[in-house]
Amino acid sequence: MKRAGGPTSAVDRLSALPEELLHVILSFLPAPLVVQTSLLSRRWRRLWRSTPLIKIDEQDFGISTKIRASTLEGRWAKFEDFATNLLLFHDNTSALGGFRLRCQVYNWRHVDRWIRRGIEYCPSVLQIELVGHVPGFKLPPMLESNFRCLKRLRLTHIILNSHFTGSLCSACPVLEDMNLSYCEFCDICPQGIISPKLNKLVMEFCSNNTRYPLVITAPSLTYLCLSFGNFLAGILLCKMDSLVKAKISVPEDEISEENQRELLGSLCNVTSLELIGFEAEVMLNENPDEFRIFHNLRTLGLHSCFLNGYELTDKLEALGSFLQNAPCLEKLSLQYCMFYSFSDSEWEIERKNITLPRHDGKILRCQKLKLIEVIYDHDHDHQLIELVWSLGRSLPDANIKLNKIDRFPP
């Protein structure tokens, strides 16, 4: 401006913004940059200390699980010093909006101290993601005074004992959203998740070593996502009357048919349901009067289901027995279902010709079903043709849409 002959004094419009808006701007920056803003001006000198969000991430210091041990030691020392001072000098006069920690447990004592310090700020959002090999890291005790404002909880690679599950209801009275990834329920007594206001629950590849079923009681839950890890004793769902959307993934041959059937029956109030890895035996019901009716179900997605055993006609009969108990179903999606894309044996001779048998089966009763989407990647041995033909004969009122998607793109 001086070279252009204009005024030499500029107005600092950014610093003139309200402090609440400046905190929002700082929330988009990595923690080291947030602290460096203290050098901008007198106004910014102490602003970082009152930010409602604390983010501690080892990636901001170039740390990852792939770097060499000699490099890790130096970078961790800088990261450790920064994280300790950040938590030490942050203003603790008011509850924290969010505390997020992502790191590996290179120094057990310091990581435990950071977590305890972050919890003391009474955050409304708590996210602890431990990466790499984590040998049995436990969450500090849940004191009611520290978790009274907690609404969102996300934990990765954490050991959860009976103290955690037993205190969850009383210590977290306003908890609405919980995400557990690769966590382990470990104790000698049964455990359960009891939360009256929990609205969303995601559990991905967790394990249960208690030898008892994990009981989930959440009457306000509207969304549930379960990707089974090691749950040999199963999971029991109780009081799921508010559940709207559910996604359940079970590992092959690790969850009993009885447990899968009980799990499926607990989801009878949902409007949208996605099942991954379920087998035909779970849906095949010889006594329709004893099978739960899915009165609200509008969308059903089956991913990698009905792959083992039985002929195609038997699998469709199992599917039909379920559809008859979903009178309001409008869309059915079959993704990589009913048959394997490739042959199990490289010596198997693929059929060159196919003869479709005369259709003598019954018409499936699903009056509101208008669309069947079949997602596939390859049609080995003309099995896709048989599937589409059988669906068209069994459900003549529904449109069938084929969608070819590579499961493992190059």
Digit-coded pLDDT (tens) for 373-383? 999 988 777 88
Q: CA 1 → CA 11, 60, 76, 98, distances in Å?
A: 12, 35, 44, 41
Beta strand extents in 107-250 (DSSP E only): 125-131, 152-156, 159-160, 177-181, 184-185, 192-194, 200-208, 214-217, 223-230, 235-238, 245-249
The DSSP symbol for 81 reads H
Residue 16 has pLDDT above 60, yes or no: yes
Question: Which of these ranges, 18-22, 174-178, 271-275, has the smallest mean pLDDT?
Answer: 18-22
pLDDT at 360: 61
Average pLDDT, the chain: 85
H-helix segments, 123-272: 144-147, 162-171, 257-265
Calculate mean pLDDT across residues 177-200: 90
Q: What is the CA radius of gyration of the chain?
A: 27
Q: What is the pLDDT of residue 348?
A: 56
Question: Does 80 have pLDDT greater than 90?
Answer: yes
**Pairing assessment for the beta strands 125-131 and 299-303 based on DSSP bridges:** unpaired
Distance in angstroms (rounded) separating the CA atoms of residues 322 and 284:
7
Q: Above 80 in pLDDT, residue 391?
A: yes
> CA torsion sign, 66 to 68 to 73 to 78?
negative
Q: Answer whether residue 253 shows pLDDT above 70.
A: no
Q: What percent of the chain has pLDDT over 90?
A: 35
* Closest alpha carbon to 90 in 48, 30, 27: 48
pLDDT for the residue 61: 92
Tokens representing 232 are 């040999």
Nearest alpha-carbon partner for 284 in 254, 305, 300, 266: 305
Sign of the C-alpha dihedral computed for residues 182, 183, 187 and 189 taken in this order: negative
Say how far apart CA 284 and CA 277 lie, in whole Å: 15
Does residue 162 register a pLDDT over 80?
yes
Residue 126 has pLDDT above 90, yes or no: yes
Q: In angstroms, rounded to a whole number, what is the distance separating the alpha carbons of residues 103 and 112?
A: 12
**Quick check: 250 pLDDT over 70?**
yes
Contact at 8 Å (CB) between 298 and 276?
no
Ranges of H-type helices in 221-368 = 257-265, 280-283, 312-323
Answer yes or no: is pLDDT of 183 > 60: yes
Contacts of 87-94 spanning 24+ positions with Cβ under 8 A: 87/54, 87/56, 87/114, 87/117, 87/118, 88/117, 89/49, 90/49, 90/51, 90/54, 90/121, 91/49, 91/50, 92/120, 92/121, 94/52
Sign of CA dihedral 382, 383, 387, 393: positive
Q: What is the pLDDT of residues 145-155, one digit of tens each?
A: 888 899 999 99
pLDDT at 36: 92
Q: CB–CB of 335/303 below 8 Å?
A: yes
Asked whether residue 1 carries a pLDDT value surpassing 50, the answer given is no
The amino acid at 265: G
Cα–Cα nearest to 320, from 286, 297, 296 = 286
77 pLDDT higher than 80 = yes
Better-scored residue on pLDDT, 93 or 303: 303
Beta carbons of 380 and 349 less than 8 angstroms apart: no
- What is the arithmetic mean of pLDDT over 382-404? 87
Residue 121 has pLDDT above 60, yes or no: yes
Determine how many CB atoms are found less than 10 A away from the CB of residue 126. Answer: 27
Tell me the average pLDDT across 267-276.
94
* pLDDT for residue 309: 76
Average pLDDT, stretch 393-399? Answer: 85
Q: Which residue has the higher pLDDT, 16 or 236?
A: 236
pTM higher than 0.85 for the full model?
A: yes
Confidence of residue 65 (pLDDT cuts 50, 70, 90): confident
pLDDT at 49 over 80: yes
Instruction: Look at residue 294 in the predicted model and tell me its pLDDT.
Output: 92
Beta-strand pair 125-131/152-156: parallel
Percent of the chain's residues with pLDDT above 70: 89
